[in-house]
């Protein structure tokens, strides 16, 4: 009688261990999948576009449109040479509601006529928009 009970106990222990492992794996996968989907959705909702650039003396004004589904906060704006070297930049906390257009000024820029530059705006979540222009 003892070998039969021992065999039954081993089978019960194996089944319980398999069920617990299954529940742990499916719970973990659900958490990981949910986090990845949520992060991807948030990043896809935040989109900006630079519509135009106006240059006057030492200030470059960027017209930034929020074309995403959520409000954005512009954290920085830059003017770069085409090779990526920074000419000038500014940190800001300019909020732009979804569907709106606003301007961001970059001061202290010394630009040369006939040279092509790249204007860049960056949100606090890391979304970027660029606009290439030549100073007249």
Structural domain total, the chain: 2
Residues 41 and 54 in one domain: no
Residues 126 and 70 in one domain: yes
Residues 60 and 110 in one domain: yes
Closest CA to 117 of 88, 81, 85: 81
Which residue range forms the structural domain that includes residue 6?
A: 1-45
What are the tokens at 119?
């204007």
- Supply the pLDDT for residue 88: 92
Q: Is 20 helix (H, G, I), strand (E, B) or coil?
A: helix
Q: Is the dihedral of CA 65, 69, 71, 74 positive or negative?
A: negative
Q: Is the dihedral of CA 66, 126, 52, 96 positive or negative?
A: positive
pTM score of the predicted model: 0.65
- Supply the pLDDT for residue 21: 86
Residues 88 and 128 in one domain: yes
Pairwise CA distance, residues 118 & 100, whole Å: 23
Span 61-119, pLDDT tens digits: 999 999 988 899 999 999 999 898 999 999 989 999 989 999 999 999 888 999 999 99
Q: Which of 9, 28, 45 is the last residue of a domain?
A: 45
Q: Work out the pLDDT band at 45, boundaries 50, 70, 90.
A: confident
Span 51-62, pLDDT tens digits: 999 998 889 999
- Supply the pLDDT for residue 30: 64
Pairwise CA distance, residues 99 & 45, whole Å: 12
Residues 3 and 61 in one domain: no
């Amino acid at each position: 009688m003892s070998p039969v009970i021992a065999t039954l106990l081993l089978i019960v222990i194996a089944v319980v261990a398999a069920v617990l492992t299954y529940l742990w794996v499916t719970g973990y996968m659900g958490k990981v999948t949910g986090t990845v989907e949520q992060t991807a959705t948030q990043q896809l909702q935040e989109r900006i576009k630079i519509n135009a650039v106006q240059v006057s003396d030492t200030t470059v004004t960027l017209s930034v449109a929020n074309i995403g589904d959520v409000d954005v906060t512009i954290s920085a704006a830059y003017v770069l040479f085409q090779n990526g070297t920074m000419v000038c930049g500014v940190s800001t906390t300019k909020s732009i509601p979804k569907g709106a257009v606003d301007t961001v000024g970059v001061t202290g820029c010394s630009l040369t006529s006939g040279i092509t530059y790249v204007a860049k705006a960056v949100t606090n979540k890391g979304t970027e928009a660029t606009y290439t222009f030549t100073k007249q």
